[in-house]
A = this chain, B = another copy of it.
């Protein structure tokens, strides 16, 4: 790894592992969950409160920050660490997912992704080189290579469909060419770059993708293009075959997938990093995670419930507030409700991962996982 960075595996339990990812801006105990700070801020929660509930690394969206305020502005103010209030480690995505999500407003070619800016309508081109340059300006500790992240609906979801396989093969080949261009474009010695494994719904292509990406020698690896419509059982197989082909000494990251059970399943396969908007978005919608199942706090039966959301939770929301009060705030669209619900849900995720790390260290990940999963099925 680059100077100032290291990835040290501290415990193993089958394929699952606990590790420490050290960066110049602090260390991340893995498996770790990265809250999503789309525009450089987790909705309603400043850095101090994030640290207080156990956050160690944040994810920002390159495409959104490129649009506003622009990477030059962020760079002029000291990069993500100086510009935002979060001085700890940052990871940015490549912008590929968001730009491809523009649908008709983007065209994917060998050079890159051409798109019309939602901000000002100008035509722009996101190339592998440009994705690296933008991320080098933003200055996260971990940058992501630009991949061709076609939707599964376009690639095809049926592994017996020859046409889908042809499309997915071609897309994977391009992702690997782009990955090599990203590697060649790097100029910052103080930033990690992770490659992204594609391969659609085809286990053989996922394996080939992992081997091809690993051959390029990235600092870490991610599983991309998942959680977009494939069945959970198939997804586990797709992650597993790729995991087996990736260098075990490098950190491995499952992008964008984030139900608690998704995390537990991937940790069992040796995945180290996760991100998802689920805890914050669900929180804003009043869907709260607890060790005894999901609580839909807007339900009328909580109108006079004086208990905390989760009596077993140590988050600021559960220590200070009742279900009734949180429900009231969300019903009235008080932004404090979004903040308190997000704080709770994020703390739930951090505690889940603290539990996973401890269970791995003690060699009891599988029974711990079964117990936690049984709780997650509860009535809340």
Contacts and interface: CB of A to CB of B under 8 A. Distances in A.
Contacts of A316: 46, 48
A8 interface: no
Interface residues of A, number: 40
A320 B336 CA distance: 20
A20 to B, nearest CB: 27
A296 to B, nearest CB: 17
Interface in A310-339: 316, 320-322, 324-325, 328-329, 331-332, 334-339
Nearest to A43: B335
A68 B322 CA distance: 16
A256 to B, nearest CB: 20
Contacts of A43: 334-336
B304 A73 contact: yes
A39 interface: yes
Nearest to A323: B77
Contacts of A303: 69, 73
Nearest to A78: B306
A45 to B, nearest CB: 7
A336 B44 contact: yes
Contacts of A331: 68-69
A4 interface: no
A307 B259 CA distance: 40
Contacts of A360: none
Nearest to A337: B41
Contact of A77 (B83, B320, B325, B332): B325
A378 interface: no
A280 B84 CA distance: 22
Contact of A320 (B46, B320, B324, B328): B46
B336 A46 contact: yes
A41 B316 CA distance: 15
How many copies of the polypeptide does the oligomer hold? 2
Given A69-B303, A304-B73, A304-B77, A41 B334 contact: yes
A222 B83 CA distance: 45
A76 interface: yes
A312 to B, nearest CB: 20
A142 to B, nearest CB: 21
Interface in A79-132: 82-85
Contacts of A332: 39, 68
A320 B324 CA distance: 33
Contacts of A245: none
A335 B44 contact: yes
A273 interface: no
A47 interface: yes
B329 A39 contact: yes
A224 interface: no
A340 interface: yes
B336 A41 contact: yes
A44 B44 contact: yes
A42 interface: yes
Interface of A: 39-48, 68-69, 73, 76-78, 82-85, 303-304, 306, 316, 320-322, 324-325, 328-329, 331-332, 334-340
21 contacts: A40-B328, A41-B329, A42-B336, A43-B334, A44-B334, A44-B336, A44-B339, A45-B336, A46-B336, A46-B339, A68-B331, A68-B332, A69-B328, A73-B303, A73-B304, A76-B306, A77-B306, A77-B324, A82-B306, A84-B325, A85-B320
